[in-house]
Amino acid sequence: MVNVAIMGYGVVGSGVVDVITQHSESLAQKAKEEISIKYILDIRDFPDSPFADKFTKSFDQILNDDEVRIVVEVMGGLKPAYDFVKSCLLAGKSVVTSNKELVAAKGAELLKIAQEKNVNFLFEASVGGGIPIIRPMTQCLAANDVIEIAGILNGTTNFILTKMIRDKMEFNDALLLAQQLGYAERNPAADIEGHDACRKICILAAIAYGKHVYPESVKTEGITNITLEDVAYADSWGGVIKLIGQAKILENGKLEIFVAPMFISRESQLSSVDDVFNGILVRGDETGDIVFYGKGAGKYPTASAVVADVVDCVKHFKARKYLGWEDTTENYVADYNDYKFSAYLRCISNNDRNAVEKAKSLFGDIQIINRSNQPENEFAFISPVKSSSEIDKAISALAEYGIETISKIRVGEV
Amino acid sequence: MVNVAIMGYGVVGSGVVDVITQHSESLAQKAKEEISIKYILDIRDFPDSPFADKFTKSFDQILNDDEVRIVVEVMGGLKPAYDFVKSCLLAGKSVVTSNKELVAAKGAELLKIAQEKNVNFLFEASVGGGIPIIRPMTQCLAANDVIEIAGILNGTTNFILTKMIRDKMEFNDALLLAQQLGYAERNPAADIEGHDACRKICILAAIAYGKHVYPESVKTEGITNITLEDVAYADSWGGVIKLIGQAKILENGKLEIFVAPMFISRESQLSSVDDVFNGILVRGDETGDIVFYGKGAGKYPTASAVVADVVDCVKHFKARKYLGWEDTTENYVADYNDYKFSAYLRCISNNDRNAVEKAKSLFGDIQIINRSNQPENEFAFISPVKSSSEIDKAISALAEYGIETISKIRVGEV
């Protein structure tokens, strides 16, 4: 029998308890040992819970109990999760977490401790909820060099964008609906401003390329500025707007990584990833494009991924899983100004009849796109591929002509 | 250093040699040991190959060399692959294979020997080529009960159907094109008659439900009877025709499993899996629908999956991977006649003006569908859900009225 402690009895934590309880027989068969919950750590009281006798408010009780070999951290946030997880690893306990903030901020350090202590630190649930992605990337794709990763990594923003695209709902209304349905939190900033997606692409990039990527170093743009007009232009171009986290290694060895809304062609597998679903594309040099699709969040999808990691820990008390990456190095993340892409730009001509000609003279070979009910003084186009700084320079030059750019969205190639 | 022998230097075998050679450094890093090819077994001579010194025609040389700890079987077929693999496992060598025919026919037996000998028998490449599916199902989804699996498991037939759907190409022309492009073999029976897909759904069902499923026990229908008229009706219904392998456990504990062309709604993630790509949907009780998408065949995708298994073997010399299933039991696979589904039927009315009324009286609440250029004496409809035998009975009753059913295709719910 293996004793497990669960730290945090929120949505995911209570899901983990349910999954372990409801699947106990098949889990024991797979792990070749019974998995037993010894403690549940939470500052709140749950006197009516069937697990009432397992609750504790004392982290030290868990830390000092040698019978506890696996600790599940599903509290979220960095404080006190980071201290708790670090202490558990140092005490020789394996840790499973769904906490993307923790892994994105402290992954390299915690993995190093796990390695030194010969225990496991697993976090399949931190990216893509119930979608298998961490393990397939580390194991199944081990014989590939990852050329690129691109993913719809946040279900809340994908739900909002889907509502805007399908039902022509304004951003604010779609956000309100997401909140009413429980998909978005009352303070939705982490989702709609792209920070959640950023943590996840950082974790995936670390796995793919072996170096930690700190979220602060990643250009991150949310979806708060996306309008129905942009959605209409994307449609007439032949695609949809999706919030994409993307990462690839450049020829100079630096990492190009960002989170941004993007025009995605309807030909792309990612374009049909709708509602709260996530989709992650991994482009391997040998295997080509692989896409993983499923619910990226939610109580039971996430909990089931956590519990699968617990089973893996039990199976690997002797042979530690080789999962790890180095800390970052200076200037590892390339300068966003140098990133090259094609952009969709929407401009107000302010009655300049030569506005389009001026845009052509500044951007080169542009592709004009139109929408229905397009005002006379508005035009939109797809620019040729240029560096981010070149695009910004051209936008400034347009502004000097009195032509205002009111939308700028990257055009995706995935 | 770990010595590996490769049995078979065909498309996949030569790919395996290339991948091991080209990725040697990163593989060594991941496996924590250098992976070295000691032998390549093939009956042919390759005097000009850079690996000429590694070729052997003697299986015994590999079998009796204790330095060879991992054997890669990429010969295909059952003879002599089965004897060779069995001998290697009995001799205490781990085996990695891409041979779906072998795993579908002999998986239970070979896994049992591997368990007894405490070695690994891995076959990620046998299903979905380079798409991670076996390992995610056994590990990442360990905390789920699998409710259902449904997949586009054969790239050749998917290419042919895509050509029929997109380019209105007749089946025979599309097959010819597939052969010209190297996607279909000169004798394409295994692909177009569904046997290849059948082996793969058998392997997935064994993993999901723990019991071997012999391909002979599975109702298997290919795509040779699909016409452009059927494709047009599917389009007007709101979907596409795909060759699907599907498996689920019924309430009585029996397995419902089949391979058949199906109408798939455009809402389904599987409907956009086109060309030679495969897509596999796994419905878990906790995690909901997960879809894995990628190239299901091809030299390097398949080879990279084989090599990833080799890396996993190296990492697991001490802790064997728990992967296995029992042999089948009597009557485990349910009788196809009892399978319940809704069907698309295309009929020739032979100038019977009441033909549709007669169909209604026999099938109940049918949904009439139409296509352009539909002849006056043709009609098509979607039946309500009925057992396979009930549908066949109603078709016979229609025939007694002189109304001939010329197409019958299941309507998918995935």
CATH number at residue A149: 3.30.360.10
Mean pLDDT of chain A: 96
- Same domain? For B204 and B156 the reply is yes
Residues paired with residue B344 on neighbouring β-strands, in sequence order: B382, B409
Q: At what angle do helices B388-400 and B355-363 cross, to 10 degrees?
A: 150
* B118: helix, strand or coil: coil
Angle among Cα A71, A75, A78 to the nearest 5 degrees reads: 100
Q: Which residues of B touch A286 (CB under 8 A)?
A: 19, 130, 300-301, 303-304
Q: Which residues of B touch A291 (CB under 8 A)?
A: 291-294
Nearest residue to B76 via CA among B382, B302, B310, B262: B302
State whether residue A115 sits within 8 Å of chain B by CB: no
pLDDT for B199? 98
- Same domain? For B236 and B281 the reply is yes
- For residue A277, CA distances in Å to A36, A101, A282, B102 come to 32, 20, 17, 36
Q: Cβ–Cβ of A124/B143 closer than 8 Å? A: no
B322 closest CB neighbour out of A32, A143, A303: A32
Q: Cβ–Cβ of A140/B315 closer than 8 Å? A: no
State whether residue B289 sits within 8 Å of chain A by CB: yes
Q: At what angle do helices A355-363 and A388-400 cross, to 10 degrees?
A: 150
Res. A96: pLDDT tops 90? yes
| 8-state DSSP, A382 | E
Residue found by looking up tokens 């009609």 in the block: B379
The whole-angstrom distance between B208's CA and the closest CA on chain A is: 12
Task: Give every residue of chain B whose pLDDT is below 50, as ranges.
Answer: none
Residue A7 lies in a domain: yes
Instruction: Give tens-digit pLDDT for A226-243.
Output: 999 999 999 999 999 999
- Same domain? For B99 and B11 the reply is yes
Residue A324 lies in a domain: no
Q: Cβ–Cβ of B145/A26 closer than 8 Å? A: yes
H helices of A23-99, in order, are 24-31, 59-63, 81-90
Q: Cβ–Cβ of B290/A132 closer than 8 Å? A: yes
CATH number at residue A394: 3.30.70.260
Mutation for testing the B interface, residue in A72, A140, A209 having most B CBs under 10 Å? A140
Q: What are phi and psi of B384, to 5 degrees?
A: -70, 170
pLDDT for B268? 94
* B204: helix, strand or coil: helix
Q: Which residues of B touch A324 (CB under 8 A)?
A: none
Nearest residue to B96 via CA among A143, A411, A127: A143
Angle among Cα A351, A409, A406 to the nearest 5 degrees reads: 30
pLDDT for B323? 80
Q: Cβ–Cβ of A130/B284 closer than 8 Å? A: yes
| The pair of three-digit structure tokens given for residue B13, joined into one six-digit string | 């075998």
Considering the candidates A38, A100, A200, A386, report the single residue annotated as catalytic.
Answer: A200
Identify the band that residue A322 occupies on the pLDDT scale cut at 50, 70 and 90.
low
Taking a C-beta distance cutoff of 8 angstroms, is the pair B241, B265 a contact?
Answer: no
Which of the pair, B375 or A319, is modelled with greater confidence? B375
Residue B320 lies in a domain: no
A217-247: burial string, b at 16+ Cβ within 10 Å, e else = bbbbbbbbebeebbbbbbbebebbbbbbbbb
Residue B142 lies in a domain: yes
Residue A110 lies in a domain: yes
Q: Cβ–Cβ of B143/A304 closer than 8 Å? A: yes
pLDDT for A414? 85
Res. A66: pLDDT tops 80? yes
Q: Cβ–Cβ of B32/A322 closer than 8 Å? A: yes
Instruction: Give tens-digit pLDDT for A263-304.
Output: 999 999 999 999 999 999 999 999 999 999 999 889 999 999
Neighbours of A117 (CB within 10 A): 17
pLDDT for B317? 83
Q: For residue A179, what are the contacts with CB-CB under 8 A and spacing of at least 6?
A: A185, A186, A188
Residue B322 lies in a domain: no
- Same domain? For A51 and A191 the reply is no
- Same domain? For A269 and A357 the reply is no
**H or E segment and range at residue A315:** helix A299-315
CATH number at residue A86: 3.40.50.720
Residue found by looking up tokens 């000092």 in the block: A64
Strands (E), B8-99: 35-41, 55-56, 68-73, 94-97
Distance in Å from the first CA to the final CA of chain A: 46
Instruction: Give tens-digit pLDDT for B321-335.
Output: 668 899 999 999 999
Res. A246: pLDDT tops 80? yes
Instruction: Give tens-digit pLDDT for B269-299.
Output: 999 999 999 999 999 999 999 999 999 889 9
Q: For residue A406, what are the contacts with CB-CB under 8 A and spacing of at least 6?
A: A346, A347, A348
Nearest residue to B223 via CA among B271, B259, B252, B249: B259
Q: Which of A262, A295, A328 is the last residue of a domain?
A: A295
pLDDT for B322? 66
| Total of domains in chain A | 3
- Same domain? For B10 and B122 the reply is yes
3-state SS of A182-217 is CCCCCCCHHHHCCHHHHHHHHHHHHHHHCECCCHHH
- Same domain? For B344 and B372 the reply is yes
Annotated catalytic, A200? yes
Q: Cβ–Cβ of A287/B272 closer than 8 Å? A: no
Cα–Cα distance for residue pair A194/B139, rounded to 1 Å: 30
Residue B327 lies in a domain: no
Nearest residue to B349 via CA among B332, B372, B321, B374: B374
Q: Cβ–Cβ of A294/B295 closer than 8 Å? A: no
Cα–Cα distance for residue pair B283/B146, rounded to 1 Å: 6
- Same domain? For B50 and B185 the reply is no
pLDDT for A121? 97
* B155: helix, strand or coil: helix
Q: Which of B229, B262, B295 is the last residue of a domain?
A: B295
- Same domain? For B287 and B262 the reply is yes
- Same domain? For A346 and A405 the reply is yes
Q: Cβ–Cβ of B130/A287 closer than 8 Å? A: yes
Chain A residue with minimum CA distance to B32 = A322
Cis peptide before A80 (omega within 30 of 0): yes
- Nearest 10 degrees: Cα torsion A324, A327, A331, A337: 50
Q: Which domain holds residue B289?
A: 134-295
- Same domain? For B265 and B399 the reply is no
Q: Which residues of A touch B289 (CB under 8 A)?
A: 293-295
Residue A327 lies in a domain: no
- Same domain? For B306 and B230 the reply is no
Residues 159-198 of chain A with CB under 8 A from chain B are none
Distance of CA B305 to the CA centre of its chain: 15
Residues 297-326 of chain B with CB under 8 A from chain A are 298, 300-301, 303-308, 310-312, 315-316, 318-319, 322
**What number is the ipTM of this complex?**
0.93
State whether residue A290 sits within 8 Å of chain B by CB: yes
Residues paired with residue A344 on neighbouring β-strands, in sequence order: A382, A409
Q: Is the pTM of this model over 0.90?
A: yes
Q: Which residues of B touch A320 (CB under 8 A)?
A: none
A141 closest CB neighbour out of B31, B132, B284: B132
Q: What are phi and psi of A382, to 5 degrees?
A: -105, 125
State whether residue B288 sits within 8 Å of chain A by CB: yes
